[in-house]
């Protein structure tokens, strides 16, 4: 019987972050994470990853969640918003399956958490994928995208590999606000994201707080949703043509536009630091030297730079980054495949659980 198979079995999934090329900033509905504009991103490969193991068991009296080896207080009503969403997701998916055992969830990121490398996107999508499989729910990617969106908006895009569009949707219940794949990862093997870590510490202002503060106080923001929607349409066509020249300027301008609305928020939100700014100037200089766009910078809610480029110019980008002393490390990624189930590498040691 299906339900008895679930008990005490560990399911492990691996998933990856995404980096938005045209970004989501501002929610039309805070509870459901419905965005003001559509967005488009690339899912990264497993050089950066989240691993999540899930087990349902009657050996536990309450649900347990560990993120990066730290126990999280998911059962408290005062827990941070993202933890409350995780708890809600777990309860929703468990109810849907008809299974009622408590869950042990262990999740680890291979990269700095909450520092603008989309750890919540990677974590949210991987969790939904692991739970769907552990509970035998057989959810479609669209259904998983809608559930992941509610943990963290950008997580809805990490359910797919390749290049992914999140259509903002119109409906009040959010049933038409989900991600769709634009191209498969193999369609553009040469595309690269070179990440320059300039700050591995946790960001001071969470994106959940930032989204709404910007909508509430920035005059510049008023022009952003319509503009971003138009950019999504243009860049999508450029991506389908594998046209780097057609997308590079949109990527850089969109990042600058989003960070301008953040700076225009009151009190101001500033994620970029002096190293980020040095990288911006250096990439413009590189493009000028080559007489065309060979690289495009973009920054999420953090100081760490994502440099989008192609395999032919990756070495040029690394050479430029070598000249910037504040860079602590770099990571290179191509287009990733999206989350998958892993048959080995469980993060749960079943023997250590002992009897109830």
Give contact residues for ligand PMV (rule: CB under 6 A).
Answer: 20, 23-25, 39, 120-121, 152-154, 207-208, 300-301
Q: How far apart are CA 169 and CA 164, in angstroms?
A: 15
Q: Helices in 135-223 by DSSP H: which ranges?
A: 141-151, 207-217
The least CB distance from residue 353 to ligand PMV, in Å, is: 32
Tell me whether residue 14 or residue 228 sits nearer to ligand PMV (CB atom): 228
Residue 109, classed as helix, strand or coil, is: strand
Tell me whether residue 51 or residue 203 sits nearer to ligand PMV (CB atom): 203
The least CB distance from residue 352 to ligand PMV, in Å, is: 33
Tell me whether residue 208 or residue 275 sits nearer to ligand PMV (CB atom): 208
Tell me whether residue 23 or residue 141 sits nearer to ligand PMV (CB atom): 23
Tell me whether residue 39 or residue 126 sits nearer to ligand PMV (CB atom): 39
The least CB distance from residue 35 to ligand PMV, in Å, is: 8
Q: How far apart are CA 205 and CA 227, in angstroms?
A: 25
The least CB distance from residue 77 to ligand PMV, in Å, is: 21
Q: Tell how strand 64-67 and strand 102-109 pair up.
A: parallel
DSSP state of 110: S
Buried b (16+ CB within 10 A) or exposed e, 238-273: bbeeeebebbbebbbebbebbbebbeebeeebebbe
Tell me whether residue 20 or residue 250 sits nearer to ligand PMV (CB atom): 20
The least CB distance from residue 354 to ligand PMV, in Å, is: 37
Q: How far apart are CA 125 and CA 146, in angstroms?
A: 10
Q: Let me know if 110 is exposed, middle or buried by CB neighbors in 10 A (0-12, 13-18, 19+).
A: middle
- Cβ atoms of residues 40 and 232 within 8 Å: yes
The least CB distance from residue 264 to ligand PMV, in Å, is: 15
CB atoms within 10 A of CB 173: 11
Helices and strands, counts by H and E, the chain: 10, 16
DSSP state of 192: E
Residue 332 token pair: 């290179």
Tell me whether residue 23 or residue 94 sits nearer to ligand PMV (CB atom): 23
The least CB distance from residue 116 to ligand PMV, in Å, is: 7
Greatest Cα pair distance, the chain, in angstroms, is 67
- Cβ atoms of residues 295 and 283 within 8 Å: yes
Tell me whether residue 39 or residue 276 sits nearer to ligand PMV (CB atom): 39
- Cβ atoms of residues 75 and 87 within 8 Å: yes
The least CB distance from residue 98 to ligand PMV, in Å, is: 30
């Amino acid at each position: 019987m299906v339900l008895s198979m679930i008990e005490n079995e560990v399911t492990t999934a691996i998933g990856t972050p995404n980096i938005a090329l045209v970004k989501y900033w501002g929610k039309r509905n805070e509870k459901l994470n419905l965005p003001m504009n559509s967005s488009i991103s690339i899912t990264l490969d497993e050089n950066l990853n989240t691993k999540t193991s899930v087990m349902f068991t009657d050996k536990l009296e309450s649900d347990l969640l560990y993120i990066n080896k730290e126990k999280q207080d998911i059962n408290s009503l005062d827990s941070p918003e993202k933890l409350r969403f995780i708890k809600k997701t777990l309860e929703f998916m468990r109810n849907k399956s008809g299974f009622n055992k408590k869950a042990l969830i262990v999740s680890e990121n291979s990269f700095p958490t909450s520092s603008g490398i989309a750890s919540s996107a990677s974590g949210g999508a991987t969790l939904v994928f692991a739970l769907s499989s552990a509970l035998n729910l057989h959810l479609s990617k669209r259904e998983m995208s809608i559930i992941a969106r509610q943990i963290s908006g950008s997580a809805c895009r990490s359910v797919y590999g390749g290049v992914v569009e999140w259509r903002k949707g119109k409906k009040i219940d959010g049933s038409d606000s989900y991600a769709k794949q634009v191209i498969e990862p193999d369609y553009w093997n040469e595309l690269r994201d070179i990440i320059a870590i300039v700050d591995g510490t946790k960001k001071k202002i969470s994106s959940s707080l930032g989204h709404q503060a910007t909508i509430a106080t920035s005059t510049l923001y008023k022009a952003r949703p319509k503009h971003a929607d138009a950019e999504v349409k243009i860049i999508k066509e450029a991506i389908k043509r594998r046209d780097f020249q057609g997308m590079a300027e949109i990527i850089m301008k969109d990042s600058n536009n989003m960070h301008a609305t953040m700076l225009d928020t009151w009190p101001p939100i500033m994620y970029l630091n002096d190293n980020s700014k040095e990288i911006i100037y250096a990439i413009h200089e590189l493009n000028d030297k080559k007489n065309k766009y060979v690289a495009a910078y973009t920054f999420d809610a953090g100081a760490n730079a994502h440099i989008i480029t192609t395999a032919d110019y990756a070495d040029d980008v690394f050479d430029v980054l070598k000249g910037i002393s504040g860079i602590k490390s770099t990571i290179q990624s191509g287009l990733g495949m999206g989350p998958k189930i892993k048959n080995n590498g469980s993060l749960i040691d079943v023997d250590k659980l002992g009897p109830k």
